[in-house]
Amino acid sequence: MERVEMKKKLEASQLIKKLREDHGYSTQKAFADALGLGQTVVSAWETGDNVPSSEAWVKIGNLLPYPDNVRCFKRAGIKPLAMLSAAAGIMAEQARAAEPFWETGTVVPVRRFREILRGREKAGPDVPLPSEFLPNPDSTICLVVDRKAAEVVVDSPRAIFILDESCKGAPEPGPSDGHVVFVEHESRAASIPGQQVRREIYMGRLRFVFYVQPTAEWKFHASIVLTSLVGVPPYRKRVIGGSEYSAQNELAGLDPFDPEIAAHPRVVSARNKARELALTQIELAPGWSLLGRVLGRFHLEGQRNE
C-alpha cells in the first residue's frame, strides 16, 4: 500500500511540474499566484511530499486549456460525461438568458469559426455579444485560435478574437491605419512539388510610414507596416505593402540634398500631395490580404479579457 501511495505522489509531482512549465509558468511562485495558493504548496506537490486535493485539481484545471484541463478534472474525480453535461447545461442557460436581448437587438449572436489548413470550420455555438460594440454585426465573427487551429501568429495564443470582416480583401487598407488587424499571406513554396500555396496568418497593428527618399528623382514613399504587439520573434515589424509618388517634374531644379530644402514651399506642397495620395492609393503587396479588424478578445486561459 505504501508503494502505491509513493507511485501516486511521484506521478502527480511529475504531472504538476510538466503542466506548470508547458503553460509558461517558469517558477513555482508564478504558478502558485495564478492558483491563489502559497509557493510552499506547489513546492510540496512537485517534490512529492504532498498531492493536490480534488479541489486543488479543479483549480489547476480551471487555469489550463483543453486537453490538460480535462486531465486535471479527471484526477479530481469528475467523470467526462459529467463535464459534458455541465458544459451543455451552461451553454443552454446562457443561450436562454440571451434570447430576449436578441429579439430587441441589444445582443446579437456572432458566429464562431476556426482557421484550419484547408480553410475555415465552425468552432462552436454562436457567441452573444452587445450590438453597441459591433459597428458591422452582419460581417463580424468570433475567430478561435487554439491547438486545433492552423498556425496563427498572435500575441495571445488560445483565445477567441472578435473580428470585423467588413474590410476583408480590401486592396486599399487606408481606413485600417492604426487598427489591430489580422492579415493573411499566401506564398508559393518553391520547394513543394506543384507550387502549393502556403497560408500564414498574422495579427498586429497596421501603421502607415511616410518618408522621402533623398535622390535626384524626388520620390515620396509610404509603407504599410504590421507591428507585432509583443515585439518578440517570430517577427517585430513586417512591411506588407506601400505606394510611391514621384515629384521629379514638380521639383525639378531643387537639390534634395540641401539641408534647408525641406521648408521650400514647392517641397511642402509636393509632400502634402504625396501624403494624401498615400492614404487613398496605398495598397497591400501581392500575396497579402486583410482578414479583419480586431474589436476584442476572450482569453481561453483564465487571463484578462479585452
Contacts by residues 121-128 (CB-CB < 8 Å, ≥ 24 positions apart)? 123/148, 125/91, 125/95, 127/160, 128/94, 128/95, 128/98, 128/101, 128/102
Query: What is the reported pLDDT for 282?
Result: 79
Which residue from 145, 181, 144 is spatially nearest to 164, judged by alpha carbons? 181
- By residue count, the chain amounts to 306
Q: If we measure between CA atoms, which residue out of 172, 236, 174, 244 comes closest to residue 204? A: 236
Q: N- to C-terminal Cα distance for the chain?
A: 50
Q: Give pLDDT tens digits for 253-306.
A: 888 778 788 888 888 888 888 877 776 777 888 888 888 888 887 766 444 444
Nearest of 174, 182, 181, 124 to residue 148 by alpha carbon: 124
pLDDT digits 0-9 by tens, 34-58:
888 889 999 999 988 888 888 888 8
Residues of the chain whose pLDDT is less than 50? Answer: 190-191, 232, 301-306
Other CB atoms within a 10 A radius of the CB of residue 266 amount to: 14
> Packing angle between helix 28-35 and helix 54-63, nearest 10 degrees?
100
54 contacts 12 by C-beta, under 8 angstroms = no
Full set of structural domains in the chain with CATH: 2-78 (1.10.260.40), 114-299 (no CATH)
